[in-house]
Amino acid sequence: MPKLPRRKCLECREWFIPQYSNVVWCTPECGAAIALKRRDKEKQQAIARLEKKRKKELVEQKDKLKARRLAVKPLSYFAKLAQAEFNAYIRERDAGLPCISCDRYHDGQHHAGHYRTVGSNPELRFDEDNCHRQCAPCNNHFSGNIGGYTPNLISKIGQARFDALMGPHEAKRYRREDFERIRDEYRAKRKALIASREVAA
């Protein structure tokens, strides 16, 4: 058998003449040490794979739980989220304007006040002509202070749009997807408005 060229032992880095071409260790001791290290590495890799799988399952389970939690939420839950985003947009749109009902400027809290109430006119709950920045006292204590709201609204949106607002409206049936879409749309709309104002400023 021809003599193989010398090589460095993978374990102790000493030169040796291998008996066979696939031998990478000089002594059985070095061979055992290398085998042990390889087994350790495989074990670590197996553990890492399991860990990764477990994490993935955890995420999947969380997603499933979240979906299930949302699935049992009543429609009103999604209506509230959509209304909150719509109202936030209205407050942002009207930032700097006085209260639609009493014309006052003040630092107190302001709401998005519906002219035609959500309770009696649910089909107008996301109508931008129907909702304007209103101070908390007018919104909470004077039932929207409608006496002041009406003339101010007409001068703000014009008689034609006011008439359209007062005119007949088709009933709307919102599904969960509708509320989610409205929520997302108005969140995006408010962010875009803020961004455009920052650019202008």
- The tokens describing 88, both together, are 């936030």
- The tokens describing 83, both together, are 């209304």
Site for Zn ion in 23-42 (CB under 5 A): 26, 30
Number of residues in contact with Zn ion, rule: CB under 5 A? 10
- The tokens describing 179, both together, are 């509320």
Nearer to Zn ion, 83 or 145 (CB): 145
Q: Which residues contact 14 (CB under 8 A, 6 or more apart)?
A: 8, 26
d(C-alpha 124, C-alpha 196), whole Å: 27
Q: Decide if residue 11 touches Zn ion (CB under 5 A).
A: yes
Determine the angle formed by the axes of helices 176-200 and 75-93, rounding to 10 degrees: 20
Q: Which stretch binds Zn ion (CB under 5 A): 19-27, 84-92, 165-173, 192-200?
A: 19-27
Q: Decide if residue 12 touches Zn ion (CB under 5 A).
A: yes
Nearer to Zn ion, 83 or 101 (CB): 101
Site string for Zn ion, 93-122 (x = CB under 5 A): ------x-xx--------------------
Q: Tell me how crowded residue 153 is: count the other CB atoms within 10 A of its CB.
A: 20
- Site residues, Zn ion (CB under 5 A): 9, 11-12, 26, 30, 99, 101-102, 135, 138
